[in-house]
Amino acid sequence: VQEQNLRIPGPTPLPPQVREAMARQMINHRGPEYAAIQAEVLEGLRHFFRTEHEVLLITGSGTGGLEAAIVNTLSPGEPVLAVSIGVFGDRFARIAEAYGAQVRKLDVPWGQAVTPDALAASLASGPAVRAVLLTCNETSTGAMNDLATLAPVIHAAPGAPLLLVDAISALGAIDLPMDSLGIDVLITGSQKAWMAPPGTTMLGVSPRAWEAHARARMPRFYWDFSTQRQSQQKGQSAWTPDVVTVIALQVALRMMRDEGREAIFARHARVAAFTQRGLEDIGLSLFAAPGCRSRTVTAATVPDGVDTSELLRYARTERGVVIAGGQDRLAGRMIRLGHMGWVDEPDISPAIEALAEGLARQGFLIPTATGA
């Protein structure tokens, strides 16, 4: 298969070392070899979650991780505030509704982040809630919430609600210190900044979340935190794990430790700024408001009259660059470029050039030089 420059916001490209590790023979998932790999992965994850607490590895996609966070900490009928800044915030709210939580929603215009004031006002406007659901990085809009300013607002709210954070497309690329921010369940997915394939969701669980778990009555079986914790304490996984992804994570986390946390965060900030500049230079409008632009995915709207699906088709078939379109009500109007995990500026330049060429073929001339 010809190599593609995969520039969607996950799954993300895999480094060669990770791909090689994935080609190995299968191992016993209840044997010592698996136990050693899992222990190393959990230790590596704790370093990036910046937590002293337990991290759980559960086979499933990110959405499964969101569902696990809800069913393990809440009971039917409990009031919850779901802060939504886009498609994935909406999904988190819908999961809570599906399990019978009493969901109050704070809908923020797409392309913006929630402000501490708006969050405080929303928390003050109704009865105390048991939990706040928050997306760190909204992959559908390229906007990012600032947990450092939002977390204290939630901790100060009546009843000290639990803070459940969807960091699926953020963690590993941006600094999100779970313990010092007081995050109760922090959720991510292997296929995003972790340089591993889809298959595993990783969840940090605080002591307060464990207390809530002991009382939470939402139905659960596969996703039960206690079952997974007991198995992890024996070096196993409750159910047959996605062994290949766990092996991939072991290698990827070694690479991440070698590069260093701060260097990884700085690289993502740099590549994000490069991507934003490049897209603006070719005449696209960044969708997220200045000040809340994501460091892992950039969303931009195309000029009126551009056929977005033709633009994406051109980039894919003529230039080998795979770029995502818009989701939900943004479909047809937006392109989204992923820049998390194994990525640097030279991976982005060809994507911007491909878009510039595709726009030119539709008669849209580039106002300035390309971002390359």
Ligand X SMILES: Cc1ncc(COP(=O)(O)O)c(C=O)c1O
Closest approach, Cβ 132 to ligand X, in A, equals 16
- CA dist 167 and 178 (Å) reads 11
With respect to ligand X, which residue has the nearer C-beta, 14 or 356? 14
Out of 166, 175, 347, 353, the only residue in the binding site for ligand X (CB under 6 A) is 166
Closest approach, Cβ 137 to ligand X, in A, equals 6
β-bridge partners, 307: none
With respect to ligand X, which residue has the nearer C-beta, 171 or 356? 171
Stretch that binds ligand X, among 114-122, 134-142, 148-156, 213-221 (CB under 6 A): 134-142
Reduced to 3 states (helix: H, G, I; strand: E, B; else coil), residue 36 is helix
With respect to ligand X, which residue has the nearer C-beta, 189 or 241? 189
With respect to ligand X, which residue has the nearer C-beta, 11 or 116? 11
With respect to ligand X, which residue has the nearer C-beta, 134 or 356? 134
Is the four-CA dihedral 268, 269, 271, 275 of positive or negative sign?
positive
Residues 6+ away with beta carbon under 8 Å from 252: 15, 18, 194, 195, 196
The yes or no reply on residue 197 touching ligand X (CB under 6 A) is no
The yes or no reply on residue 101 touching ligand X (CB under 6 A) is no
With respect to ligand X, which residue has the nearer C-beta, 139 or 228? 139
How many angstroms separate the Cα of 344 from the Cα of each of 20, 80, 86, 267, 272?
21, 39, 27, 7, 10
Stretch that binds ligand X, among 117-125, 141-149, 161-169, 314-322 (CB under 6 A): 161-169
How many angstroms separate the Cα of 161 from the Cα of each of 83, 93, 126, 297?
13, 16, 13, 29
Are 114 and 292 spatial neighbours (Cβ–Cβ below 8 Å)? no
Reduced to 3 states (helix: H, G, I; strand: E, B; else coil), residue 7 is strand
Stretch that binds ligand X, among 164-172, 302-310, 335-343, 347-355 (CB under 6 A): 164-172
Both tokens of 352, joined, read: 């911007």
Stretch that binds ligand X, among 162-170, 265-273, 285-293, 350-358 (CB under 6 A): 162-170
Number of residues that bind ligand X (CB under 6 A): 12
Out of 38, 169, 228, 276, the only residue in the binding site for ligand X (CB under 6 A) is 169
β-bridge partners, 324: 336
Both tokens of 49, joined, read: 């979650």
With respect to ligand X, which residue has the nearer C-beta, 58 or 74? 58
With respect to ligand X, which residue has the nearer C-beta, 72 or 296? 296
The yes or no reply on residue 200 touching ligand X (CB under 6 A) is no
Reduced to 3 states (helix: H, G, I; strand: E, B; else coil), residue 16 is helix
Q: Which helix (H) or strand (E) holds 339?
A: none
Closest approach, Cβ 197 to ligand X, in A, equals 11
Out of 38, 72, 139, 294, the only residue in the binding site for ligand X (CB under 6 A) is 139
Q: Which helix (H) or strand (E) holds 115?
A: none
The yes or no reply on residue 340 touching ligand X (CB under 6 A) is no
The contact pattern for ligand X, residues 40-69, with x = CB under 6 A and - = no contact, is ---------------------xxx------
Closest approach, Cβ 88 to ligand X, in A, equals 4
The yes or no reply on residue 10 touching ligand X (CB under 6 A) is yes
The yes or no reply on residue 294 touching ligand X (CB under 6 A) is no
Reduced to 3 states (helix: H, G, I; strand: E, B; else coil), residue 368 is coil
Strands 162-166 and 285-286: unpaired
Out of 135, 228, 232, 236, the only residue in the binding site for ligand X (CB under 6 A) is 135
How many angstroms separate the Cα of 358 from the Cα of each of 100, 283, 316, 347, 366?
47, 12, 10, 18, 11
Rg (CA), the chain: 21
Stretch that binds ligand X, among 94-102, 166-174, 260-268, 307-315 (CB under 6 A): 166-174
The yes or no reply on residue 341 touching ligand X (CB under 6 A) is no
Give the residue among 354, 288, 348 at the shortest CA–CA distance from 12: 348
Reduced to 3 states (helix: H, G, I; strand: E, B; else coil), residue 346 is helix
The packing angle between helices 62-73 and 87-98, to 10°, is: 40
Which residues are at the interface with ligand X (CB under 6 A)? 10, 61-63, 88, 135, 137, 139, 166, 168-169, 189
